[in-house]
Structure 1
């Protein structure tokens, strides 16, 4: 039974929630709001952004986020947080997720994924993955029960993010994000509306706003991204050091749920 408790503790302590897909800061102009067409220029901007992301050999990215949660009575709460990525090559990264309610770190070296809770001092590992970062993040939610914030940064510009599923795409206008000129686009896919502000300077996404249609309350997620593509990412920054933390067994969240029902304790 002790191992099952460890599994459930892992699910509760180390589970990493995915940033929802995103919502609208301001309604588009009336003439564009009525349009449900796919503007080729908007798709082209998305393609250029994907190419810019895939061309980065390494980067650091710091994002400020705001996530909406819906209570049982339908009331929405908006909670602020931060997401920091350090990425080196196609298969090594570190991500840290912070808010007043959680603190998580994830390390991936192309072979092993380590999930660490610095507050509780517990960590778990998933070994023998042997995949690129893009391949890992494309199905980590369904395969491992681990959802990464801003995972689309690794999928844009790859077959993992086909544009054929976009049912509406439009250019909203030119805007400044923290003084930086950007072009604002809005997209719709089944179950989600999302917007992206793409930097005029480097074609990288500067802000995201995603609204999920899976809940009638339409919860949203917003992230403002700050990029550092010039400073070298040190390999040592991507190495997990236990430093007295306790290792616990990793099980996918779905299997941990089976244990909670008593199915996995036999």
Structure 2
């Protein structure tokens, strides 16, 4: 099935970048902004804390996570707008998840069952599906931006502690200090990779990230993305909540932003 002009526009909206990730945003820096690894500070304590946080995330068999976000958008004249939103994840096992992204300007839901990724726009009642992926959540999110043109919000939650996020790409890592996020004690760390600075506040009690701040160097306006995270790791995640049900929605073709030979067979289904 080929989408009409309206449907094609919707697919483009569905597959546009959803939010920022410190990995997805790590484009090469502009000349003069690069930080030399020979002069950068790589605090071993900060690297250890990042590794420990990755292990804590990977040890979770399931979780629900709700985040309030603020995303900077840069206008053509360079003015920045900060727009609020929310991101909600439900994750079960290594290859089932549901994510919902809400703001005044968009509402999207994404479902993954280990085989099929479904992208749904509740406001327009259209959805697109990419089938036969047969991958873990970590594997899907690690290259979904390049293979499918879909960038997941807070994708690093799935990548920290895996080969998809090697710490040797860091050119700076430091402990900033202690801080309370929603009255919860945390340790505040700052990191730099080529093209992006990012900060994370890690809970003293759980070892999980409580806040993220990512700043891109690929735009002179230095836009940022901030997310404050609230975790529920005890309440069971029901498999039925991760299943997409069309309920009268119309299926349209998925059009990757930059299709590869491997993806060519997944477009019109």
Report the TM-score, using the length of structure 2 for normalisation: 0.87
Distance change in 2, residues 1:142/1:54 (3 Å): same
Could you tell me how far apart the structure 2 residues matched to 1:2 and 1:116 are?
Answer: 17
List per-residue Cα deviations over 1:198-253 (Å, max 9, x = no partner): 00001000000000000000000000000000000000000000000000011102
Moved over 3 A (4+): 1-4
Q: Does 1:103 align with 2:107?
A: yes
Distance change in 2, residues 1:21/1:115 (3 Å): closer
Q: Does the residue aligned with 1:3 lie in a helix, a strand or coil?
A: coil
**1:18 offset after TM fit, Å?**
3.5
Q: Does the residue aligned with 1:198 lie in a helix, a strand or coil?
A: strand
List per-residue Cα deviations over 1:161-192 (Å, max 9, x = no partner): 00001000000000000000000000000000
Contact 2:116-2:129 at 8 Å conserved across structures: yes
**Structure 2 unmatched ranges of 5 or more:** 23-38, 260-269
What is aligned with 1:179? 183
Contact 1:7-1:250 at 8 Å conserved across structures: no
What is aligned with 2:216? 212
Q: Does 1:60 align with 2:64?
A: yes
Could you tell me how far apart the structure 2 residues matched to 1:5 and 1:69 are?
Answer: 26
What is aligned with 2:25? none
Q: Does 1:166 align with 2:170?
A: yes
Report the TM-score, using the length of structure 1 for normalisation: 0.88
Spell out the pairing of 1:218-237 with structure 2 (5 A cutoff).
Answer: 218-237=222-241
What is aligned with 2:207? 203
Q: Does 1:87 align with 2:91?
A: yes
Could you tell me how far apart the structure 1 residues matched to 2:136 and 2:198 are?
Answer: 26
What is aligned with 2:125? 121
Aligned residues, how many?
243
What is aligned with 2:195? 191
What is aligned with 2:8? 8
Q: Tell me which of 70, 75, 78 is aligned to 2:82.
A: 78
Higher helix share: 1
Could you tell me how far apart the structure 1 residues matched to 2:94 and 2:245 are?
Answer: 22
